[in-house]
Amino acid sequence: MQANQLEKIRKGKGFIAALDQSGGSTPKALAGYGVSEDAYSNEEEMFDLVHEMRTRIITSPAFDSTHILGAILFEQTMDREIEGQYTADYLAEKKGIVPFLKVDKGLADASNGVQLMKPIHDLDETLRRANERHIFGTKMRSVIKEANPEGIKTVVDQQFEIGKQIIEAGLVPIIEPEVDIHSNDKEKSEQILKDEILGHLNNLDDKDNVMLKLSIPTVANTYKELIDHPRVVRVVALSGGYSRDEANEKLKENDGLIASFSRALSADLNVNQTDEEFNAALRDAVESIYDASVNKK
């Protein structure tokens, strides 16, 4: 199964859906879906509601392997079921979509113009359970706010250190050093970031594979060298706060770069929509993101 999934991610046409809002971002995700905070009284009820939202997305006929290569899940979603199957099994077996898992625990406070990941003390146990749940790969996010070479080096060092632990567990890590789209020196940050990532890629063993999830670069095709690197399975782009239309237009300018959008995917979905309305809105989003991922300018 994993060899087939690797081939699908490496060469398939489509994009990666990000359904991994967690912890502090869950209320915002629910609010965007039309579920206000007075609809739940505790964390358990909140996660029940967000699983209902994700189940509605995943089971929609618009959420299909013709357009979508993979989906990134939150740990709670991995441990829950959809139509009697664990979510990853449902995605792989019923939908033909490759399951990934978000493994980071959020961001540390800003220092040297960046936010590192908080320590992931239970990573070994999480990776064991991910294998048990038939997860293909993982995702972990850091943020770069300034073109600080020392800070950016620290971010990339941390990402690859943890990435190697994930590779040793038999999974493919998505390394995500996001550059803040509002940064005053975004373009400079992206050049420093590219050079740091290249250094680590060139030091990987021939059997090691990673994916990269990056902000859409200011200068088109900045990351082409990363996309073409033999140790990189795929480079995907986050929407980063751009609207879907803006993110799609920027994405089209970058050869080989495909989407891994979250808010831009679900922005038009609402709990009060009929199934027909919901599926049509999701279909519009899926098709536009797919088009931006496969049809370049």
pLDDT score recorded for residue 289: 98
List the single range of 18-22, 101-105, 239-243, 289-293 with lowest mean pLDDT. Answer: 18-22
Q: Is 176 a catalytic residue?
A: yes
**102, 105, 194, 213: which is the annotated catalytic residue?**
213
For range 201-220, the mean pLDDT:
97
pLDDT in tens, 8-59: 999 999 999 999 977 677 898 999 999 999 999 999 999 999 999 999 999 9
pLDDT score recorded for residue 221: 98
Q: How many CB atoms lie within 10 A of CB 98?
A: 27
pLDDT at 3 over 90: no
CA distances (Å), origin 68, targets 17, 22, 126, 241, 260: 7, 21, 25, 21, 10
pLDDT at 114 over 90: yes
Asked if 59 and 19 touch (Cβ cutoff 8 Å), the reply is: no
Among positive and negative, which fits the CA dihedral 20, 25, 30, 34?
Answer: negative
Asked if 179 and 193 touch (Cβ cutoff 8 Å), the reply is: yes
d(CA 7, CA 196): 27
The angle formed by the CA atoms of residues 24, 30 and 34, to the nearest 5 degrees, is: 150
| β-sheet bridge partners, residue 138 | 101, 173
pLDDT score recorded for residue 23: 65
Asked if 22 and 74 touch (Cβ cutoff 8 Å), the reply is: yes
The model's pTM: 0.96
Q: Is 150 a catalytic residue?
A: no
**75, 146, 176, 178: which is the annotated catalytic residue?**
176
d(CA 227, CA 142): 20
d(CA 179, CA 196): 14
CA distances (Å), origin 207, targets 48, 125, 149: 40, 23, 29
pLDDT in tens, 145-154: 999 999 999 9
pLDDT score recorded for residue 179: 98
pLDDT in tens, 249-278: 999 999 999 999 998 999 999 999 999 999
Contacts of 278 (CB under 8 A, 6+ apart): 56, 60, 269, 270
